[in-house]
Amino acid sequence: MAKNTPYESDRDLFSPNRNISPITSELDKQGRLMIGGCLLSKLAEGYGTPLYVLDEASLRASCIAYRDALKRYYPGSSIPLYASKANSSLVLSKIVADEGFGIDVVSEGELITALRGGVPGAKIVLHGNNKSDKELLMAYENGVTIVLDNHHDINRLAELIPQDKPPAELMLRFTPGIECHTHEYIRTGHIDSKFGFGLEELQEVFIKLKEANWARLNGLHAHIGSQIFELEPHRDLAIVMADVFQMARKLGHPVKDLNVGGGLGIRYVKSDDPPAIDSWIKVISSAVIDAFTSRSIDLPRLICEPGRSLVASAGVTLYKLGARKHIPGLRTYLSVDGGMSDNPRPITYQSLYSACLADCPMGLAEETVTIAGKHCESGDVLLKELSLPYSKNGDVLVVFGTGAYNFSMSSNYNRIPRPAAVIVKDGESELIQQREQPEDLLRYDLLPDRFSR
């Protein structure tokens, strides 16, 4: 490799989270875009649009990158957990479990999905700042580790777990007071956060848990944000967590797990420059090793929780272009057959994406357009100032980096059914999520008898 490269190795240069498109992206002889050996315009024709497409090879490559980096850089035991809030499904649960991952879940629905996807309860962690009694009991009964987020969790578990039963397996989440330069809504490590105990509460909490025969505190958890491009905050995090770990040990808790959360960013547009998975794990491993050895503490089991960086770049969304509106001297709107109901991130977070025409991905830019969704909402705009070749009604648009927080945050706004999803590999496509039909949206509607009189 040339000496002037900014990357340490091919592992950095070709890290899946640094790709805008899935790793199997290629052109056929006619210059049309293929992913997983499947022609995207044919997928759109066969399955309809909007359509979520998940590249299995990209997902597995990301899993391998995390798993192998932990083995390479961390001499103690370790386990990566997939943060399934990014995209929860039976197929994703099965694939990550096959690759040696556990899963973190935040609701009854995500927990059921993980269990039925083949993830053993012992490799599942339940998060959440307002867990229901049903969620707590389901987790306990399936051997799932419960993350204590607040005093409410402690009080409810004390009531729910019978005195003559084994204790609950617990992890405690706290806010380390570390901020990252990311979107305000996805900063979770600073002091003013709805998540976790404050540092000033921890001694009292550790003492309270020590007196509880229903509790077995196995580890600590902290998370400093999402879509992070910085590495230095994770060094600071390791120092804070080592101090808290030491406090827990001194107060009688044989904690062994250190969960540093996730948050590694991906490349949505060319200007994004996230660290590689390998570099992220290297820094975290080094920081934990330094922090624990300097305190003469045995290395903990290191846990991390990648979500977006595991699955986002593996997914694309296909749309068909429809109406065109040209405003002279201002802009041209191209409308697609989806929008904020299948991808609410642009209107919610002002998120940026990259896109191209499926059958002319390398064509010369001939116009600058704004891609508008079909919803009755002025802010339903997916991409602004997108350079494209001239397009026509029915052309397929590919939006990259939609594997995370698109399907999982989708809605039925304007009573629009959710899209179908397929997984592609070696030229084959398989349906993993059926397309909702308009009639499905009436399934739970009720019309009381008095309205029929």
Three-state secondary structure readout of 185-250: HHCCCCCCCCCCECHHHHHHHHHHHHCCCCEEEEEEECCCCCCECCCHHHHHHHHHHHHHHHHHHH
**Catalytic site positions:** 376
Q: So where are the chain's domains?
A: 10-55+312-442, 74-306
* 76 Cβ contact partners less than 8 Å away, ≥ 6 residues apart: 299, 300, 301, 302
Q: How far apart are CA 265 and CA 306, in angstroms?
A: 10
Task: Please tell me the predicted confidence (pLDDT) of residue 443.
Answer: 94
CATH of domain 10-55+312-442: 2.40.37.10
Task: Please tell me the predicted confidence (pLDDT) of residue 2.
Answer: 34
Residue of 269, 185, 190, 280 whose CA lies nearest to 231: 280
pLDDT in tens, the chain (453 residues): 233 334 455 566 689 999 999 999 999 999 999 999 999 999 999 999 999 999 999 999 999 999 999 999 999 999 999 999 999 999 999 999 999 999 999 999 999 999 999 999 999 999 999 999 999 999 999 999 999 999 999 999 999 999 899 999 999 999 988 766 555 444 455 677 899 999 999 999 999 999 999 999 999 999 888 888 888 888 999 999 999 999 999 999 999 999 999 999 999 999 999 999 999 999 999 999 999 999 999 999 999 999 999 999 999 999 999 999 999 999 999 999 999 999 999 999 999 999 999 999 999 999 999 999 999 999 999 999 999 999 999 999 999 999 999 999 999 999 999 999 999 999 999 999 999 999 999 999 999 999 987
162: its two tokens: 């019978």
Task: Please tell me the predicted confidence (pLDDT) of residue 10.
Answer: 58
Q: What is the pTM of this model?
A: 0.93
Task: Please tell me the predicted confidence (pLDDT) of residue 4.
Answer: 35
CATH of domain 74-306: 3.20.20.10
Task: Please tell me the predicted confidence (pLDDT) of residue 234.
Answer: 87
Residues 398/355, Cβ–Cβ less than 8 Å: yes
Task: Please tell me the predicted confidence (pLDDT) of residue 317.
Answer: 98
